[in-house]
Amino acid sequence: MTYIKLLLCLFVGSVHSWTLDYLAAKQVPSPHFNRGRSGQAITCLVLHGTAGGGTVSWFQNPTSKVSAHYVVEQDGSVVQMVSEDDTAWHNGVVTTNSVFYGRPNPNLWCIGIEFSRNIQNNNIMPEVQIASGVRLVADIKRRYKGINIYTHDQFNVGRTCPGPSFPLARFQNA
């Protein structure tokens, strides 16, 4: 009996199941996250461009060590890869010339959304993708009143993310 309990404990301890925060998303878990938010409140939504395809499999690849809560594909499909309750690994580098420099790691207080874009992060995004992203952002705004919307390049200054021709106003107005 003790042995079985031990096995059960090991099993339960190694599996972290979570439910979708955004019901229109498909769940594809990434192993790249930290449990919880280390006491930080979620006050930030940070928007990214993927700089190329294959993002969902890259976030599952053990060598990448990166993730985001959501990926919005060019066809408008949405994948959730990390629970909003947990810390994803998308926004951990803050340059000294960022207004966010010196604050706790932004991954702890931000939700991250990746928008699939071309390698240069400069394509005109399809309307179906933008509209899908607007619905996702509106849902997050409804659940986190007053959440701030930022872009990755406000933290990692000089990085081309989310990149040119990104329809930021559409998401700010969602």
Interface with Zn ion by CB under 5 A: which residues? 48, 152, 161
* Rounded least distance, CB 104 to Zn ion, Å: 19
* Rounded least distance, CB 144 to Zn ion, Å: 20
* Rounded least distance, CB 55 to Zn ion, Å: 11
Report the C-alpha gap between 46 and 142 in whole angstroms.
16
* Rounded least distance, CB 141 to Zn ion, Å: 20
Q: Which is nearer to Zn ion, 10 or 54 (CB)?
A: 54
Q: Which is nearer to Zn ion, 136 or 161 (CB)?
A: 161
Report the C-alpha gap between 172 and 174 in whole angstroms.
6
Q: Over the chain, what HEC string results?
A: CHHHHHHHHHHHHHCCCCCCCCCCCEECCCCCEECCCCCCCCCEEEEEECCCCCHHHHHHCCCCCCCCCEEECCCCCEEECCCCCCEECCCCCCCCCCCCCCCCCHHHHEEEEEECCCCCCCCCCCHHHHHHHHHHHHHHHHHCCCCEEEEHHHCCCCCCCCCCCCCHHHHHCC
* Rounded least distance, CB 161 to Zn ion, Å: 3
Report the C-alpha gap between 27 and 56 in whole angstroms.
11
Q: Which is nearer to Zn ion, 84 or 90 (CB)?
A: 90
Q: Which is nearer to Zn ion, 16 or 103 (CB)?
A: 103
Q: Which is nearer to Zn ion, 80 or 89 (CB)?
A: 89
